[in-house]
Amino acid sequence: MRALFCSTDGVSHLFPLVPLAWAMRAAGHEVLVTFAEHTDQAVASGLHIVDVAPGFDGMAIFNKTLEDNPEFAQMWWNETLGDDPSRFALMPAELNRPFFERTFALVEQWRPDVVVYEQTAAYGLIVASKLGVPAVQRNLGIVRTGGLHRAIAALLPDVFERYGVPALADPALVLETVPPSMFPFERPEGEFVRDVVFTGGAVLGDRLPERGDRPRIAVTLGTNRPGTDGLGPLKGLLASSSALDAELVLALGETDLTPLGELPANVRAVGWTPLEPLFRTCDGVVHHGGGTTTMAAIDAGIPQVVGVNPLYPGNETLAPAVRKAGIGIVADEQSIDGDVLNQMLHDESLRANTAAVQEELASLPGPAELVRRLEDLAR
């Protein structure tokens, strides 16, 4: 059996597909992954990656789309996704467009029996619709799909005509990857499954130093935020951290930390580090509200502080979900200081609630169990 996994360019979109892709490989199936731009990080997954959009520059497309469509840009920066983000379809349509030519060429030579795609990779659903094979959608965080994919399809009539796609099919299966207790909507779009976190491979070495006597707090802004929004949100936090009886570990990838100035004695930077092993050495985490980071904290059993930025779409669903489950503190990112971190470390209800959600997450079907579902769909 052949399974094609489709992602847009961000590793934060690709990495959530990796555990299921590896479960398929471990079961003896053939797997290919279509991706673009950050292929050097993608190969760390050990999977076979096909760069279907050489020269792709997601940030350039993002900026040009906003510059060319000022009314859309105004909506993009000022409205929330809500239950149906279809009015935001222009952006994912433009980001998906470069993926079609080489993906369609690929499936002419390597025909998959099933296509698995992350929620924003509409090209995966469109390719599956052309081939007439089942498509499986992996939702990201708690963002709704609503009519988004049909709105994207309506913006790409040339793609449907050029490649002979008769119509957009519905996914055969949708995977919801947050525990039901955190789910903020009346009903899911699909089935609840276990989110097994993967954030890349690395030689750890001294990136995970031995624990000292003080609590350890990880600080991360995900893979995209430092590049788009800078490090400004961290300046106030670091200014108040020197008086904090805790060690702060900055997991900010290869971001230039010069704007932060000299780091306090209790703060250290570790560069690009997989979150799973790092979080298991920590007592808490401060982050931007990304889905993978949120779930990694739950998996590690540690409370979290989510810094809210109104211009970051993920906050509007994940931050309320964290608050709803009582597993962390949600605060404006500019107001997070030593007092907020102390509250996170010493509020036992946060730790108890996190343990309960961690147990709930572990009870959901994981990637190995989903392999049989994909096999049945492809028959």
CATH number of domain containing 212 = 3.40.50.2000
Residues 45 and 140 both lie in one domain:
yes
Rounded to an integer, what is the distance from CA 368 to the centroid of its chain?
Answer: 20
Task: Compute the average pLDDT of residues 293-305.
Answer: 95
Q: Same domain, yes or no, for 216 and 120?
A: no
Domain match, 157 and 231 both: no
At 184, the pLDDT band (50, 70, 90 cuts) reads: confident
229 vs 240: CA distance, rounded Å: 21
At 148, is the pLDDT very low, low, confident or very high (cuts 50, 70, 90)?
very high
- Both 354 and 370 in one domain: the answer is no
Q: 126 vs 2, 94, 115, 163, CA distance in Å?
A: 17, 14, 10, 10
pLDDT in tens, 2-47: 999 999 998 889 999 999 999 999 999 999 999 999 898 899 899 9
Has residue 200 been placed in a domain? no
Residue 28 counted as domain residue: yes
Query: Can you say whether the dihedral through the CA atoms of 60, 16, 147, 162 is positive or negative?
Result: positive
Q: How confident is the model at residue 59 (pLDDT cuts 50, 70, 90)?
A: very high
- Rounded distance, CA 295 to CA 298, Å? 5
Asked, for residue 276, whether it belongs to a domain, the answer is: yes
Arithmetic mean of pLDDT, 133-141 = 96
How many alpha carbons lie under 13 Å from residue 19 in its C-beta half-sphere?
A: 17
Q: Do 66 and 16 share a structural domain?
A: yes
271 and 349 share one domain:
yes
My answer on whether 299 and 371 are in the same domain is: no
* Higher-confidence position of 256 and 277: 277
Distance (Å, rounded) from C-alpha 268 to C-alpha 14?
28
pLDDT at 20: 98
pLDDT score, position 316: 58
Looking at the structure of the chain, the number of domains it has is 2
Q: How confident is the model at residue 315 (pLDDT cuts 50, 70, 90)?
A: low
Mean pLDDT score across all residues of the chain: 91
**Greater pLDDT, 223 or 356:** 356
Handedness of CA 80, 82, 86, 92 (dihedral sign): positive
Looking at residue 71, what is its pLDDT?
A: 97
Q: Does the pLDDT of residue 78 top 80, yes or no? A: yes
pLDDT of residue 229: 53
- Over residues 318-338, the mean pLDDT reads 89
242 — pLDDT class (breaks 50, 70, 90):
confident
Contact by Cβ (8 Å): 5, 17: yes
Report yes or no on 293 lying in a domain.
Answer: yes
Structure tokens at 184: 């903020």
Q: Look at residue 130 and tell me if it is in a domain.
A: yes
Same domain, 143 and 79: yes
Residue 121 lies in a domain: yes
24 and 52 part of one domain: yes
| Residues 221, 147 share a domain | no
Whether 199 is in a domain gets the answer: no
User: Percent of the chain at pLDDT above 90?
Assistant: 67
* Domain of residue 109, residue span: 2-194+364-378
pLDDT of amino acid 319: 84
Residues 255-264: what's their mean pLDDT? 82
**Highest mean pLDDT out of 150-164, 194-208, 303-317:** 150-164
For residues 23 and 149, membership in a common domain is answered with yes
Q: Residues 374, 353: one domain?
A: no
